[in-house]
Amino acid sequence: MAYQINLEGFEDLKIDPRYKINVNSGVVLGLNNKILKSKGDIYHRVNIGGGNTKNLSRLIWSQVNGSIDGKFDVDHIDNNPDNNSISNLQLLTHQENLKKSAKNRDYSFSKTTLQNIKRVKAIKIDDGTFEIYKSLYSCMTDIGVNAGLIKMCCEKSNRVKSGTSRINNNRYTFEYTDQEPTKLIKRKNAAN
């Protein structure tokens, strides 16, 4: 016996009446009354005929409230992107959505960030002179070599052995050190 979906609560999808939508459960049914599986990252997207992929939360909001002005984001009130019920959706400006997201973000990792800063010794290949910087950032800022490249060189990963300065074209090797910095670089936006 074939499994039959209960179509109670479903209505024709406004943009394509061959599909059915239940805005209370946040579900879209395909052409054979099968639940469309979402694709993508954290936010659910469904394919509505011929490769036309739609964000599920926006699709549900539009079904009930009409088209969405591009200035607005559809926000999940409970911050759960799996809950696409119309009662869990609201429109926010992009800026309001970012503020809400930042307020609910977990910043617990940041308490150890400053403890993990590593001092970097930048050695000029031509003459062997060096400077010691208090961080990858300050080294990158002063000599003009990408911080990722400096890090790979220090960690001896990806066969990276040196980097060339964008500022003066000098080549440098890098290593982590416990020595005190010889050059202090202030961040450009640091408070005085």
Lowest-confidence range among 11-15, 34-38, 59-63?
A: 34-38
Count how many domains the chain has. 2
The reply to whether 190 falls in a domain is no
* 90 and 21 assigned to the same domain: yes
**Are 29 and 21 within 8 A, CB to CB?**
yes
Express each pLDDT in 49-75 by its tens digit: 777 888 999 999 999 999 998 889 999
The domain boundary, picked from 46, 66, 98, lies at 98
**Are 65 and 27 within 8 A, CB to CB?**
no
List all residues 6 or more positions away from 175 whose beta carbon is below 8 Å from its beta carbon. 120, 121, 123, 153, 154
Q: Is the pLDDT of residue 22 over 60?
A: yes
Burial of residue 19, with CB atoms counted within 10 A of its CB: 0-12 exposed, 13-18 middle, 19 or more buried: buried
E strand segments, the chain:
11-13, 16-22, 27-29, 45-47, 53-55, 72-76, 89-93, 119-124, 130-133, 163-164, 171-177
* 35 and 83 assigned to the same domain: yes
Express each pLDDT in 110-150 by its tens digit: 666 666 788 999 999 999 999 999 998 899 999 999 999 99
Domain enclosing residue 165, as ranges: 116-177
Q: Can you give the pTM of this predicted structure?
A: 0.55
